[in-house]
């Protein structure tokens, strides 16, 4: 009964690969290392994922899904648009300070796979676009659509930049300054230029 079922193996490979890609990188992580740490045979991995590319895409999808579900839960608890955006920044603040923070896996994927036609590039870009859309929909509750679009873009930039700064060893300053700028951006709305 402690025996893992078939589909468990698949998920176990995904999670092991996720941990390695995050810590070590995509190119720098070899198949041999993934199967060694996951403790599965090579053919088991290749049965589930025809190639390393497929595995990377699956890992990114898995991570993106987990991220979306967490933000969904947080959004429910917040009443106003400002607070909803605030909970997103809160999430990033906690993430920056978590023990196994190694930067954004999606940004790293975009960095390592420069070809926009590559499935890994596309899977990573999808997550960024999804996050921007999420924030845009929130902002549309409090401002016109075009303004919500440019503001959500700016918020996404702050988040991505803050993640980079956190990665460079300044997690506390990163989230503080990003949050401050974001809140000022929302509070200043409607004021005369």
Partner DNA sequence: CGATAGTGAGACAGGTCTGTCTATCTATGC
Partner DNA sequence: GCATAGATAGACAGACCTGTCTCACTATCG
Of 64, 65, 152, nearest in space to 107 by CA: 64
Sign of CA dihedral 177, 187, 148, 192: negative
Q: Check if the beta carbon of residue 120 is closer than 8 Å to that of residue 109.
A: yes
Contact region for its own copies (CB under 8 A) — 12-20, 47-55, 80-88, 157-165?
Answer: 157-165
> How many whole angstroms separate alpha carbon 28 and alpha carbon 55?
15
Comparing CB distances to its own copies, the nearer of 44 and 121 is: 121
**Can you tell me which residue has the tokens 């990114």?**
60
Which tokens go with 11?
Answer: 């998920």
DSSP state of 185: H
Q: Does 47 bind DNA (CB under 7 A)?
A: yes
| Residue 51 near its own copies by CB under 8 A | no
Tell the smallest beta-carbon distance from residue 115 to its own copies (Å).
Answer: 10
Select from 14, 17, 20, 40 the one that contacts DNA (CB under 7 A): 40
Of residues 40 and 88, the one with the C-beta less far from its own copies: 88
Among 46, 62, 91, 121, binds DNA (CB under 7 A): 46
The contact mask relative to its own copies for 122-151 (x = CB under 8 A, - = no) is ---x--xx--------------------xx
Report in angstroms how near the CB of residue 113 gets to DNA at its nearest.
13
Provide the H-helix boundaries in 25-144.
Answer: 31-38, 42-48, 52-77, 81-97, 105-112, 119-139
Pick the closer one to its own copies by CB: 16 or 163: 163
Choose the contact partner of 114 out of DNA, its own copies, none; CB within 5 to 8 A by kind.
Answer: its own copies
Comparison of 51 and 129: residue with beta carbon closer to DNA: 51
The Cα–Cα gap between 54 and 37 comes to 19
The two tokens of residue 29 are: 């992580």
User: Which residues would be at the binding site for DNA (CB under 7 A)?
Assistant: 3, 6, 9-10, 29-33, 39-44, 46-48, 50-53
């Amino acid at each position: 009964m402690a025996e893992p079922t078939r589909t468990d193996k698949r998920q176990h490979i995904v999670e092991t690969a996720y941990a390695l890609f995050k810590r070590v990188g995509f190119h720098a992580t070899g198949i041999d290392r993934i199967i060694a740490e996951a403790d599965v045979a090579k053919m088991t991995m290749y049965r589930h994922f025809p190639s390393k590319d497929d595995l990377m895409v699956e890992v990114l999808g898995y991570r993106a899904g987990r991220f979306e579900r967490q933000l969904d839960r947080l959004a429910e608890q917040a009443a106003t648009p400002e607070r909803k955006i605030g909970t997103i920044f809160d999430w990033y603040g906690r993430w920056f300070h978590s023990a196994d923070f190694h930067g954004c896996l999606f940004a790293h994927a975009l960095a390592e796979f420069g070809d926009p036609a590559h499935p890994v590039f596309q899977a990573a870009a999808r997550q960024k676009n999804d996050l921007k859309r999420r924030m845009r929909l929130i902002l549309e509750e409090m401002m016109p659509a075009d303004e919500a679009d440019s503001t959500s873009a700016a918020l996404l930039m702050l988040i991505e930049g803050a993640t980079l700064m956190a990665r460079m060893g300044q997690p506390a300053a990163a989230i503080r300054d990003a949050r401050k700028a974001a809140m000022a951006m929302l509070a200043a709305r409607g004021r005369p230029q």
